[in-house]
Amino acid sequence: MHADPLLRVFGERLIGWHLTAQAAAGVRRVVVNTARLAEQFEPGLRDGTRLGLRIHYSTQGRDHGGALA
């Protein structure tokens, strides 16, 4: 069973909690690697400005030939 990083908990996506913690720690640029549900990450997180980050996306199926096992 996989945790869904786009699932909302207390109004925020699970991945958003992690990204917020990264921003609080001083991180400003992150790469979000996706495979399953890849098409939902960017519309959900956008460019990261709201979180104080700059998010870049790497899509395994498109950029690297398939999901990592």
CA distance 45 to 56: 10
Report DSSP letters for the chain, one per residue.
----TT-EETTEEHHHHHHHHHHHTT--EEEEEEBTBHHHHHHHHTTSGGGT-EEEEEEHHHHSSS---
What pLDDT digit, counting tens, does each position of 20-49 carry?
A: 999 999 999 999 988 778 888 898 899 999
| Residue 60 pLDDT | 79
Q: How do 8-9 and 12-13 pair as beta strands? A: antiparallel
Domain boundaries, the chain: 8-63
pTM exceeds 0.85, yes or no: no
CA distance 44 to 39: 9
